[in-house]
A and B are shown apart, each in its own frame.
Chain A
Amino acid sequence: MSTRLTGFGRLIDRSKPLRFTFDGKWMRGHPGDTLASALLANDQMLVGRSFKYHRPRGIVASGAEEPNALVNLGKGGRFEPNQRATTTELFEGLRAESQNRWPSLDFDIGSVNTYLARFLPAGFYYKMFIHPRPFWKHVYEPFIRQSAGLGRAPKDRDGDTYEHFHTHADVLVIGGGVAGLQAAKAAADTGARVFVLEQTAHWGGRAPVDARDEDRIAGQGAADWVAATVAELEAMPNVTLRLRCMGAGVYDHGYVLAYERLRDHAPDATGPRHRLWRIRAKQIISATGAIERPLSFAGNDIPGVMLASAVRDYVVNYAVSPGDRTVIATNNDDAYLTAIVLKKAGLDVPRIVDARAQGGGALMEAAKALGIRVDTGRAIAKVKGGKRVTKVQICAQAGEGGVLDEIACDAVAMSGGWSPVVHLWSHCGGKLFWDDAQAMFRPDAAHPPTGADGQGFVTCAGAASGALDMAHVLEDAHAAGLAAGKAAGGKAKRTKAPETTARADAPIEPVWLMPQGAKVELRTKTWLDFQNDVKVSDVQLAAQEGFESVEHAKRYTTLGMATDQGKLSNINGLAILSDALGQPIPQTGTTTFRPPYTPISMGAIGGEARGVVFQPIRRTPIHGWHEAHGADWEPVGQWRRPYAFPRKGESVHDAVMREVKNTREALGLLDASTLGKLIVKGPDAGKFLDMLYTNMMSTLPVGKCRYGLMCTENGFLTDDGVVARIDEDTFLCHTTTGGADRIHAHMEEWLQTEWWDWKVYVANVTEQFAQVAVVGPNARKVLEKLGGMDVRAEALPFMAWADGRIGDFDARVYRISFSGELSYEIAVRASQGLAFWEALMEAGAEFGAMPYGTEALHIMRAEKGFIMIGDETDGTVIPQDLGLDWAISKKKADYIGKRGQERAHMTDPGRWKLVGLETVDGSVLPDGAYAVGEGLNANGQRVTIGRVTSTYFSPTLGRGIAMGLVKHGPDRMGEVIDFPGTDGKTYRAKIVDPVFHDKEGAKQNV
């Protein structure tokens, strides 16, 4: 069993107990524990179930590489799935639940899959579930979705807060082990501004655990040297140190994201939970260490089989023994350290199984001196056990797995060698090379990620660069620190790396399969990826089926695609793939390393940008009045516009009907302030607008308005609006509400990059004016009551504008109409907008003034057959499709979009064209419905001949009206066509003229 030891435990405070629950059961731990160490101290080795076969899963590792110990943490607004127990610091009252099991961790129905494993090989999704076709959607997928998947998605709103910090550094050191600290010291001594990140809660990395009693750094023990160096760095004004802060990703030009966990270990403290650092660094040192590799032998996934380094971490750091009797399996000297530590803790190590025929070096002798039996040239044939290791069978590494010996034990510590953590080096393009002697991919210093100057900006230091023994680590780190400091503008210093004790290790011997000739019944029980249930046999099958590229094999088998992103499995997997393909490992290569290094919270990515500050709302000067008068809001771009103003007890629909009727019969007021207003000014303004609009603007007389269409160079309609000529050199262009910024940018682009010699300025004055549409038969009456300028038809005819006074307000009045009624759009200074609106409401009361919203606006424009950008257009519609040929100049040699509209497909008479649609029974056509014609298309579906673009109930006509694009539509007036609805009904509609109301335009021109 696993239990708490009396000795060791350098990171825990035994004087204080902490209580926590796992699957509802109360357990005890100490401050300094991780959830994983505390679970082991309570003999909870079984922590989850695997993804596919629901096999029992135990803790394997002690850090960020852990594939199995994923739990649901917390509850309510603090619930979070897939949290690694090995990186979760224990606190009082922590609640953890195991995942991917039902009904319980000990008895899981899904584990039946393990007996079906024969039928669930690599790529089984594609093979098994392909026929019959409809079964995927209705049977297979729902079933698989229910049985697969890890933690639950949170239901409640996140109860914590998050923040972003931005900073610059000369040298950013990622990793606070001895390499990171030495590199930081060397860089800081050059005078550079240094930032040091460490993902755990402790400085020093593995050194304090891995140092032997006799090891010294600069004459000190490893832990003492770490403490002294951290103290030195803390005292330097040019150094910033951050614990619990992980370098998550390295990006272009020295941009780095770092993820600081401020309150995960102290949830009741105040302040944000996570902080995302957005760092620009001139130089980056990746001192991210190395990760131990598992060995591939049958039963290596049974709880109790752990990495050798993790076993000694649990003993030394947390005083936890993973087992009473631990068999060690290795191909290198490092695992002997684990044997020695276990022996010193008074635990039994019945055997060290060393795959190397010659065995190890000095560490092997040290282990033997402690009385531990070492078998060389041996391998583990199979681990036996269910929810816990019970024994191992030993065989010859060179053989096929014939059992030579059986050893009862409750834990296995394995070491397949070390892989440098090259993720951050690789994120932005650093290349790797295969080091045969050390059996690892290492950063290729000749091909670093390059910055704006073409020079490398990332250096790896220590184990991350492939230096495994202490002397090399410190020399390498020191050199990296000096070079980075200098490259970032520091002063070169002649300093030296500290002296260390040498360790005489025998070389590693690569072992990718144990035993090397393992038979198929062993290989189908030999796991590569513990979380995604990928076995040696799966990768071999993928290779056999032709998935020879490592990227293909990865996706076919899902190797390395789990939340741990293959930190333990990738190298072993591609070694197996290389073997199956009969090619050397570097020829197979690695899959792509992508950020983040380990998952970071969505909260941290969002930072402060949530709720009301996620996307600030733009408000017109009259917004508050609308709010006070019960507006039902509609988002339009970043604005909120009133959709309608329902009265007490009135439905929104009824309010819209009332608003249309009142505007047509009496007086309606619309807040049109959101309409884009662009001033285009200069001697070439007319020439410029002639290029921008499809019609002629340069001939527009001063004092007049003209409706214009704007297209993209592709010919497609992109915006429309009324242009007013203010003076000889000045135009005011109205754009759609959502289009103001886009059209402003469009104008700037052409002026700056194509016609830069034209003398034109553009200014966006959208927010400088409030604009109110005064609409209806009584529009003139209310303006005349307020008094001021002459608004009679003789003085201010339709499509004219004038400056003057309306009541107490300076106003610019446009006689334009989007409703077909007598209409004045009146612009006043933004600061006067609310007062002007209130004055109109007050003066208009006797004339039946009511505000109306965007839906009434839409209905009235549809009754008049006016198009709306975004309804009648969708980026594939040209003005000619909409019957707007009258607004396209035939005289102009060129305008943006003209050449595009001349292409064969645009002049095809078979294009769908705008028509009006009237349902036969007066009902409302469904929005977006398609019309069907005779015959079937290649997919056996009915041929479509048109679609609905706008559809409303018209209170004016008392029936449904619609506009749509129909093939040969204008030539088919009076024909009835079918629109099958998604509700199973078929709607029948007659093709009619799109102008439903006041075809002559008599009402607006009075």
Chain B
Amino acid sequence: MLILQCPCCGVMADETELAAGGEAHLKRFGPGSSDDDFESYLFNRVNPKGVHFERWRHAYGCGKWFHAARCTATLEVFGTYSAQVTEPPQEIRDKISARRPGWRWREFG
């Protein structure tokens, strides 16, 4: 059972307090988008073994959504950060680089 720190209220929250929200930093495609873009937005996920970015909600706590950067293989948590960004902040990327030099995740790395 993971422990993630909620960046909104600061609580070190057990996974039972949290609700998983799937892959982070998806770009929404609405009317007018191509079938490929829409399919990719709705269904295609990278599901990596290693560095990953996820959405979580502190559902049984402050109720706020946030992002987490962690390693799906070792369960190392590189950091949690605001839900209100479209890409991982530099500070988080630096933390990952320190632990996993040369990491790649989608277009980031």
Please state if A454 and B74 are interface contacts (CB–CB under 8 Å).
Answer: yes
Please state if A899 and B76 are interface contacts (CB–CB under 8 Å).
Answer: no
Of the candidate stretches A221-229, A249-257, A508-516, A966-974, the one touching chain B is A249-257
Closest chain A residue to B28, Cβ basis: A754
Please state if A452 and B75 are interface contacts (CB–CB under 8 Å).
Answer: yes
How many angstroms from the CA of A745 to the CA of B59 in the assembled complex?
9
**A450 in complex: contacting residue of B28, B33, B35, B76, CB < 8 Å:** B76
How many angstroms from the CA of A450 to the CA of B64 in the assembled complex?
28
Q: Does B84 count as interface, using CB distance less than 8 angstroms?
A: yes
Within 8 A of B (CB), among A279-311: 280
How many angstroms from the CA of A255 to the CA of B15 in the assembled complex?
11
0/1 per residue, A439-452, Cβ < 8 Å to B?
Answer: 00000000000111
Please state if B38 and A756 are interface contacts (CB–CB under 8 Å).
Answer: no
How many angstroms from the CA of A252 to the CA of B75 in the assembled complex?
7
Please state if A454 and B29 are interface contacts (CB–CB under 8 Å).
Answer: no
**B42 in complex: contacting residue of A754, A894, A900, CB < 8 Å:** A900
Please state if A749 and B64 are interface contacts (CB–CB under 8 Å).
Answer: no
Please state if B30 and A452 are interface contacts (CB–CB under 8 Å).
Answer: no
Minimal beta-carbon separation of B8 from chain A (angstroms): 10
Main secondary structure of the interface of B (DSSP, over half): loop
How many angstroms from the CA of A464 to the CA of B32 in the assembled complex?
62
Minimal beta-carbon separation of B92 from chain A (angstroms): 15
How many angstroms from the CA of A713 to the CA of B43 in the assembled complex?
11
Q: Does A1002 count as interface, using CB distance less than 8 angstroms?
A: no
How many angstroms from the CA of A253 to the CA of B5 in the assembled complex?
13
Known A-B contacts A253-B2, A714-B42, A753-B55; A450 and B75 likewise in contact (beta carbons under 8 Å): yes
Please state if B42 and A713 are interface contacts (CB–CB under 8 Å).
Answer: yes
Please state if B75 and A894 are interface contacts (CB–CB under 8 Å).
Answer: no
Closest chain B residue to A455, Cβ basis: B76
Residues in chain A near residue B61, CB distance under 8 A? none
**A899 in complex: contacting residue of B3, B31, B75, CB < 8 Å:** B31
How many angstroms from the CA of A252 to the CA of B72 in the assembled complex?
11
In this complex, the interface size class of chain B, counting residues with CB under 8 Å from chain A, is 20 to 34
Within 8 A of B (CB), among A543-563: none
Please state if B57 and A749 are interface contacts (CB–CB under 8 Å).
Answer: yes
Closest chain A residue to B75, Cβ basis: A252
Residue of A453, A454, A898 ringed by the most chain B CB atoms within 10 A: A454
Q: Does A941 count as interface, using CB distance less than 8 angstroms?
A: no
Known A-B contacts A452-B77, A749-B57, A753-B55; A898 and B28 likewise in contact (beta carbons under 8 Å): no
Q: Does B99 count as interface, using CB distance less than 8 angstroms?
A: yes
Minimal beta-carbon separation of B65 from chain A (angstroms): 4
Q: Does B46 count as interface, using CB distance less than 8 angstroms?
A: no
Minimal beta-carbon separation of A446 from chain B (angstroms): 13
Residues in chain A near residue B1, CB distance under 8 A? 251-253, 255
Please state if B76 and A894 are interface contacts (CB–CB under 8 Å).
Answer: no
Residues in chain A near residue B71, CB distance under 8 A? 454
Minimal beta-carbon separation of A693 from chain B (angstroms): 15
Minimal beta-carbon separation of B100 from chain A (angstroms): 10
Residues in chain B near residue A900, CB distance under 8 A? 38, 42
Q: Does A436 count as interface, using CB distance less than 8 angstroms?
A: no
**A898 in complex: contacting residue of B3, B31, B83, CB < 8 Å:** B31
How many angstroms from the CA of A549 to the CA of B28 in the assembled complex?
43
Please state if B21 and A899 are interface contacts (CB–CB under 8 Å).
Answer: no
Interface residues of A (CB under 8 A from B): 251-253, 255, 280, 429, 450-454, 713-714, 745, 748-749, 752-754, 756, 893-894, 898-900, 902-903
For the complex of A and B, 3 pairs with smallest distance between CB atoms: A454-B76, A255-B1, A756-B84
Q: List 17 A-B contacts (CB under 8 A).
A: A252-B75, A280-B14, A452-B77, A453-B76, A454-B74, A454-B99, A745-B59, A749-B57, A752-B65, A753-B21, A753-B84, A893-B31, A898-B30, A899-B32, A899-B33, A900-B42, A903-B35
Given A253-B1, A748-B63, 13 further pairs, Cβ under 8 A: A251-B1, A280-B14, A450-B74, A452-B75, A454-B99, A714-B42, A745-B59, A748-B65, A749-B57, A749-B65, A754-B28, A756-B83, A899-B29
Interface residues of B (CB under 8 A from A): 1-3, 14-15, 21, 28-33, 35, 38, 42, 55, 57, 59, 63-65, 71, 74-77, 83-84, 99
